[in-house]
Structure 1
Amino acid sequence: MENNNGILLESGTNELEVIMFGIGRGTFGINVMKVREIIQPVDVTIMPHSHPHMEGIIRLREEIIPVIDLSEAIGFDRNEGSAQTDKLIVSELNQMKVAFRVHEVSRIHRISWEQIEKPNEMSQGLKDLTIGVVKMEDNMVLLLDYEKIVYDVVPDSRLDGSGEEESRPERASRHVLIAEDSNMLRQLLDDTLQASGYTSLTFTGDGREAWEKLTDARAKAFDVVITDIEMPGMDGHHLTKKIKESSEWKDVPVIIFSSLITGDLYHKGERVGADAQISKPQAPELVDMLDKMTGLKAAGV
């Protein structure tokens, strides 16, 4: 299956299309924009000293791609599925490709981010690995934090903070609003930006909460907004569109910082008015763009 043809959604509609798949008796979903293709399992080359959740690597059209057993990564019994129905979901995120082994793939559903609730303690014990819960008519579907799963298993996927210059005190005067639903990435962003000198940070877990913070008359003004794309309640494209269509807030720069800055999604970001788009995990580039968007001169200038 090749995705992205004929299923792209209009920019800023707060909708997404989700590929549903099964692991054991659980039903899960992944944003179709993260999926390059779905293939039958192929021979896997085992890598010595690799993470226990990593099956090994495969060669797919001259590319070497790591394979993660998703059932083991989320603590399910890998033997609950049937090898006859197993599939590999080849995904691209954080500028790398990875294949997730799942037990079966069902269909694509179009849903609104408003249908997605934040996970709670009852999310099958997967709260730390779940970014949202979709309540369907006949069951509940969990949207996993695929970035965290890959981050834990594949070291090369981690947020790149290397090469950042020393902290600059003038950055502390800039107020930054950040919409990011992943607990892990919020902490990584906090550590990286604080170390660079951006210490006035306000974090929210989704676009709706960020919009409320931005438009709260009692709150301090923000100099720039950083937003992820995938978030329950309101996604980053819809948040950006609301900001840029607002007469009061349209001049606030918006930086989209996401693992999904590829091809069609980049054009979506342009159409909703994003001032800049940076692909995770390029933290130094994000810091440089914050300097530019908040009017700070480059170091040494």
Structure 2
Amino acid sequence: MTGILTESGTNELEIIEFHLFKKLPDGSQKTCYYGINVAKVREVIQVPETTDYPNAQPHMIGVFSSRDVLTPLVDLAGWLGVPTEKELTRKFVIVTDFNDMTNGFLIDSISRIHRISWNDVESPSQFLEAGEQDCVVAVVRQERNLIMILDFEKIIADINPELSMEKYDVTMDKNVDLNQRMVAKRNAKTILIAEDSAFIRSMIQDTLSSAGYNIIACKDGGEAHEKFMSIVEVAKKEDVPVSEFVNGLVTDVEMPRMDGLHLLKRLRDHDSYKEMPIIMFSSLMSEDNRTKAFGLGANETITKQEIGKMVGLMDEHVFKS
């Protein structure tokens, strides 16, 4: 499933629609509609033979071999709290590949691929107040149905906490300068974060703020762009540069309303943000995405397991002499 990503900064994506069949108390069933970015999917297969794994997390069915990689099989319906049929013969497995990890997720049926604009992908907070525990990062309206785009990073971190970004603590990182003078320098700077996953947004915010940076947090690229444009207006009124209000951006690639590459392109096209440090931070930092990001003017690209590099990279660009 490679080669599907769209042109740089065009603000489009492709999602695979899949279903879980929820059993209702009266014995009938209801179809629940979900989606995942095609770029995160390695393959969709029939349910493989699995081996029990000792002391496994709840909702982990077992492990199987996917192209010679030992792969956990997760009961997605169980994790989501959706009661479904236990019989596995008619079910399927979505095998995902991102953040250098391979995982399998048990589903009831696979539907089709939709090619859509990020403009048509809505933030879940437009439907409900999404808290840190929320597992839906975006919602797509398709015909009469709402397709929920799930936060697979959060699901994997919950099932296997050892692989979670939560393990990183900047205050314990000897490579990060945390002396009082440096923390005070960072305290005079503000970084904007654009990230649709509340779980990951909180991790980035904790990492940068623990090192001293002030944070503006946005839940998608559209909100981030609006914030940057409002800063331009305030800076004009006060006759000061935008750097009085914001000094850098950390942005995800895939987000509702406006993706990170499109946000990057819009900012680099604006005189006020041509030189601002921008770090792309994504589980989908393929060579293709990395090339696009640098082509559009990103200063750095890092994957989500490289969160330990973030403070050092931001320091390097924000305090460049």
TM-score by length of 2: 0.84
Deviation per CA, 1:115-159: give whole Å up to 9, x if none.
111225967x99811111111113111101111111101123311
Shift of the 62–117 alpha-carbon distance from structure 1 to 2, 3 Å rule, reads same
C-alpha separation in 1, matches of 2:89 and 2:62: 20
Within 5 Å, give how 1:222-233 maps onto structure 2: 222-233=246-257
SS in 2 for 1:78: coil
Out of 1, 4, 25, the residue aligned to residue 2 of structure 2 is 4
Out of 81, 103, 108, the residue aligned to residue 98 of structure 1 is 103
After TM superposition, where is structure 1 displaced by more than 4 Å over at least 4 residues in a row?
120-123
Shift of the 121–77 alpha-carbon distance from structure 1 to 2, 3 Å rule, reads farther
Aligned residue in 1 for 2:241: none
C-alpha separation in 2, matches of 1:139 and 1:226: 33
Out of 137, 157, 162, the residue aligned to residue 151 of structure 1 is 157
Cα deviation, residue 84, structure 1:
3.6
SS in 1 for 2:134: helix
Aligned residue in 1 for 2:272: 248
Aligned residue in 2 for 1:212: 226
Q: Is 1:260 paired with 2:305?
A: no
C-alpha separation in 2, matches of 1:36 and 1:273: 29
Please tell me whether the aligned partners of residues 95 and 279 of structure 1 are also in contact (alpha carbons under 8 angstroms). Answer: no
Cα deviation, residue 21, structure 1:
0.6
Within 5 Å, give how 1:1-301 maps onto structure 2: 3-5=1-3, 7-24=4-21, 25-79=31-85, 83-120=88-125, 128-159=134-165, 160-161=167-168, 164=173, 165=176, 167=178, 168-169=182-183, 170-198=185-213, 200-216=214-230, 217-218=233-234, 220-295=244-319
Please tell me whether the aligned partners of residues 47 and 89 of structure 2 are also in contact (alpha carbons under 8 angstroms). Answer: no
Q: Which has the larger radius of gyration?
A: 2
Cα deviation, residue 19, structure 1:
0.5
Cα deviation, residue 268, structure 1:
2.5
Structure (1/2) with the larger helix percentage: 2
Cα deviation, residue 79, structure 1:
1.3
Cα deviation, residue 166, structure 1:
5.4
Unaligned 5+ segments in structure 1 are none
Question: How many aligned positions are there?
Answer: 291
C-alpha separation in 2, matches of 1:256 and 1:89: 26
C-alpha separation in 2, matches of 1:53 and 1:259: 23
C-alpha separation in 2, matches of 1:32 and 1:97: 14
C-alpha separation in 2, matches of 1:62 and 1:260: 22
Deviation per CA, 1:241-290: give whole Å up to 9, x if none.
11112222111121011111123222222232211111003222111111
Unaligned 5+ segments in structure 2 are 22-30, 236-243
C-alpha separation in 2, matches of 1:175 and 1:281: 23
SS in 2 for 1:46: coil
Please tell me whether the aligned partners of residues 95 and 280 of structure 1 are also in contact (alpha carbons under 8 angstroms). Answer: no
TM-score by length of 1: 0.90
C-alpha separation in 1, matches of 2:317 and 2:97: 28
Cα deviation, residue 97, structure 1:
1.5
Cα deviation, residue 32, structure 1:
0.4
Deviation per CA, 1:144-182: give whole Å up to 9, x if none.
111111110112331152562352412212210110111
Structure 1: which amino acid aligns with 2:206?
D
Shift of the 40–214 alpha-carbon distance from structure 1 to 2, 3 Å rule, reads same
Please tell me whether the aligned partners of residues 179 and 226 of structure 1 are also in contact (alpha carbons under 8 angstroms). Answer: yes
Please tell me whether the aligned partners of residues 132 and 232 of structure 1 are also in contact (alpha carbons under 8 angstroms). Answer: yes
